[in-house]
Structure 1
Amino acid sequence: MIIPIADLSEDAVLNIIEGFVLREGTEYGEADVSLQQKVQQVLTQLTSGEVLLVYSELHETVNIIPKQQLGEFELSETLQQ
């Protein structure tokens, strides 16, 4: 299920993004990118709709996925139920 970020408080969205960034261990090459910058980049992507905030009822988790992967996410949720 897609969670509209407008339905959450700003603090909740930022905490979810921070957890995602720390969990994903994203690679930014040789340039050092601060946690704040990474969070801002993901927030920009969420705001633009490039990535989506989704809730898995099956796993009771929240994740951030590229919009193109929404179909795969929904299919995996359906197959595993």
Structure 2
Amino acid sequence: MIIPWQDIAPEMLDSLIEAFVLREGTDYGEQELTLEQKTADVKRQLQCGEALIVWSELHETVNIMPRTQFRG
């Protein structure tokens, strides 16, 4: 189930994004980004619809994923 990012309290959204960024392990290439830069990028992706916040009933977890990977 998709959870609209606008329905999440700002502090909770920031915490969710930060937890995602800290666990995701993405390689950013030669340029290393700060935590603030990474979280701002994820927030931008959510705001423009490139990424989604998804609740898994099966696993009872929340995740952030690219829209292209979501199979509802």
TM range (shorter): over 0.9
Distance 2:37 2:8 in 1: 21
Per the TM alignment, residue 69 of structure 1 is displaced from its structure 2 partner at its CA by 1.3
Per the TM alignment, residue 37 of structure 1 is displaced from its structure 2 partner at its CA by 0.3
- Could you tell me the TM-score, scaled by structure 2's length? 0.94
Give aligned pairs, total: 72
Distance 1:14 1:25 in 2: 18
Question: Which has a greater percent of strand?
Answer: 2
- Could you tell me the TM-score, scaled by structure 1's length? 0.84
Per the TM alignment, residue 28 of structure 1 is displaced from its structure 2 partner at its CA by 1.1
Which residue does 2:2 correspond to in 1?
2
| Unpaired segments ≥5 residues, structure 2 | none
Question: Which has a greater percent of helix?
Answer: 1
After superposition, the C-alpha distances for 1:43-79 in whole angstroms (9 at most, x for unaligned) are: 00000000100000111100011111111xx3xxxxx
Distance 2:66 2:28 in 1: 18
Per the TM alignment, residue 32 of structure 1 is displaced from its structure 2 partner at its CA by 2.0
Q: Which runs of 4+ in 1 moved over 4 A?
A: none
3-state DSSP class of the match of 1:32?
coil
Which residue does 2:32 correspond to in 1?
32
Distance 2:8 2:57 in 1: 18
| Unpaired segments ≥5 residues, structure 1 | 75-81
User: CA RMSD for the aligned pairs?
Assistant: 0.8
* Aligned residues with identical type, % of pairs: 53
